[in-house]
Structure 1
Amino acid sequence: MLNRRDLFVLGAAAGIALSPVAYAQSSFPDRPIRIVVPYASGSGTDNTARHFSQRVAMATGWTVIVDNKPGGNAFIGINDVLRSPADGYTLLYTGGSTHGVNSALFKKLPYDPLRDFVPVAPALFSPMVLLASPSLNVKTAAELVDLIRKNPGKYSAATGSPFQQLAVNLLRQQGKLDFQDVQYKGSGQSMTDLLGGHVDFTMVDGAAAMPQVHGGKLKALAVTSKRRVAAFPSTPTMAEAGLPDIQLNGWAGLFAKTGTPEPVLGKIREVFNAYFQSAEYKQFLDANAGFYEDLSPAQMMDFIRSEIARAQSTFQRAGIEPQ
């Protein structure tokens, strides 16, 4: 007898909706489910949300809509979810910046990442990738670190997001390195200046690194995941490269507003987790420098607490005061 995950995979592969009988335990959902992405259309977070929401809709017959609400450090999208009823029809897709780094950068957030939201399911993890300007002519991460150590204060790191700030500050602190920071409004501009030799190195998420690395314009020197990733099979981990064993992954997951009924949460979790654990989704993540880890809601909450604590201690040691 096929279990529900088998039915899900068969339905997704055929591109058809499953029979409504499979979801007859309750009337949920009887209208569209909206997934709020607090970032612009075309971003990596947005692309992933559109991918899995479409596959879930195809397999279940549910109507799932991705609604981009960018701006204000993601506060606009988050507040949109908080103003919506806690009924499971409005979900939030976000990750390491809003539910980790922001707690270290702002004295007072207009939301509480631990109290205002409950985890539905983690969707992806992606390592940060260490990249150096071609003008430095370094071939390994060890060569880059050696260059920085021999010339304290001379070289500069580009950061285009709070998560990149966290990554380069962990490298600075754990590697006992002295370099400058150059901040940009986004990773795109920082990558342009890296290619142009205006900054010397950066640490950026895998999806943003892929076009330049696979196009031969930049060399990936190391990844911050525990293991190598399929998108960069020849790139060593930080530990393999002889650097401080920095394990830092960008991540994103689905959240519901606190107070959402548990039966509704259970149904949403079952359906989305079935796709997140499918072979098709693994292929998607492999092609986009990501990977999946099966975390329970309790494990996800513990993970978020640890992300917040690490960001706060890292920025405090770096002398970066919350705004």
Structure 2
Amino acid sequence: MWRHRRLLLALLAAAPFGSLQAQNPQPLTLVVPFAAGSGTDAVARTVGQKLAEKLGQTVVIDNKPGANAQVAAQYVAKAKPDGLTLFMTTNTSHSANPALYKELRYDPIKDFTPIARVGELPFALAVHPSVPAKTLAEFIAYAKANPGKLSYATPNSTSLVAMEAIKRIAGIDIAQIPYKSSPQAMTDLVGGQVQVYVADLGSGMAMLKTDKIRTLAITTARESQILPGVPPVGATVKGFDLTSWNGIFGPAGLPKPVVDRINGALQQVLAEPDTQDKLRQLGFEVWPSKTPEEFTKYVADQLAHWGALIRQSGVKPE
């Protein structure tokens, strides 16, 4: 029996580490900075399931909401760069937060390894039916006639910056009510606790198409195929164009072979018509970067763009 044990140990010692890891791959954790039910969460679960098939390993979704994506960002930034902890995040953590907060406990450039952009998630401005407005122009006129009497929900930076930009350009006074999650913000809009919400199509699609709320405009410069007939905010508020991007990162120092392997698997996943159809049903538009290097440049460009946008909107860093 001892001879058999010595033979087994010798075989294990001689086997390449990579082959053993391939036979018994550890689960990959995909950290999401928003609560379950949010648009980013829905995208992560769709992409994660497909990614697991391509990589041949389990993909676990780990929701870490809080502090406008800072909780999750700090967690991933401190993770071991072994390819087992990844971050599916948005412009909130990597474009907006540096201009929204005086101090961040992570650096969006230095603390992460960009792997791939996944796509973009349009947002729509919706109001509670108690607001007597059927168009964005009517809403602005009503808000001007009732300064300080309306409130809007802000569960993420896109909702915040979009609404603050509209307020500044249109000259209206609406109170901000912070929320920890998109589902709760939508619940309170439906219930009338807040009267306005710029909602992501991912988490808000079901309600945006009902008469429980009234959808007035979308934040992108062009009309959405997902919400046909809903005009862009820019058609009324000149020069307005805002959307939310989504991408996957690893901690800083992620080895290039690992980056390339995950990027390659993602490219395959996002090219599949089935994946694109599922994401489109969530209100998400697939728009992958071709290479990690392209995504790296995009992240830097968006950081500068959002910084300028936030300063123009008049939002003061906390």
- TM-score scaled by length of structure 2: 0.81
1:234-249 equivalent positions in 2, closer than 5 A = 234-239=229-234, 241-249=235-243
Take 1:87 and 1:28, find their aligned partners in 2: how far apart are those partners?
A: 16
Indicate the residue corresponding to 1:35 in structure 2.
Answer: 30
Alignment of 1:137-152 (within 5 A): 137-149=132-144
Per-residue CA deviation, residues 8-67 of structure 1 (Å, 9 max, x unaligned), is xxxxxxxxxxxxxxxxxx759632322222333343322321221111222442332223
Partner of residue 113, structure 2: 118
Distance of 2:288 and 2:224 partners within structure 1: 17
Q: Answer yes or no: is 1:303 the counterpart of 2:302.
A: no
* Residue 280 of structure 2 corresponds to residue 282 of structure 1: no
Task: Give unmatched runs, 5+ long, in structure 1.
Answer: 1-25
Match of 1:100 in 2: 95
Which one-letter code corresponds to 1:278 in the other structure?
Answer: E
- Partners of 1:28 and 1:271 lie apart in 2 by 21
- SS at 1:134 equivalent: coil
Equivalent residues in 2 for 1:1-323, closer than 5 Å: 30=22, 31-32=25-26, 33-149=28-144, 153-173=148-168, 175-186=169-180, 187-239=182-234, 241-295=235-289, 296-317=291-312, 319-323=314-318
State the identity %: 31
Q: Is the 8 A contact 1:182 1:199 kept in 2?
A: no
- Using the alignment, how far apart are the partners of 1:87 and 1:255 within structure 2? 12
Please give the alpha-carbon distance, in whole angstroms, between the structure 2 residues aligned to 1:321 and 1:106: 8
The number of residues matched between the two structures is 296
More moved, 276-285 vs 188-197:
188-197
Alignment-mate amino acid for residue 134 of structure 1 = P
Name whichever of 191-200 and 285-294 sits farther off.
191-200
Cα distance, 1:212–1:307 mapped onto 2, change above 3 Å: same
Aligned partners of 2:93 and 2:108 also within 8 Å: yes
Select the structure of larger CA radius of gyration. 2
CA contact (8 A) 2:83 2:254 kept: yes
Look up the SS of the partner of 1:58 in the other structure.
helix
- Tell me the secondary structure at the aligned position of residue 120 of structure 1: strand
Letter in 2 for 1:78: A
| Residues 119 and 288 in structure 2, CA contact (< 8 A), matched pair in contact too | no
Q: Is the 8 A contact 1:206 1:290 kept in 2?
A: yes
Deviations 1:227-286 (A, max 9, x none): 3333212212223x3332422112221101222221221111011111112211211121
Q: Give yes or no for contact 1:28–1:264 (8 Å, CA) kept in 2.
A: no
Which structure 2 segments of 5+ residues have no match? 1-17
Aligned residue for 1:5? none
RMSD (Å) for aligned C-alpha atoms = 2.6
Instruction: Sort the Cα spacing of 1:28 and 1:39 in 2 relative to 1 into closer, same or farther, 3 A.
Output: farther
Preserved contact between residue 90 and residue 256 of structure 1 (Cα < 8 Å): yes
Which residue identity lines up with residue 282 of structure 1 in the other structure? Q
Q: Deviations over 1:170-228 (max 9, x none)?
A: 2123x332212231324444434433445432212112331222232122211112433
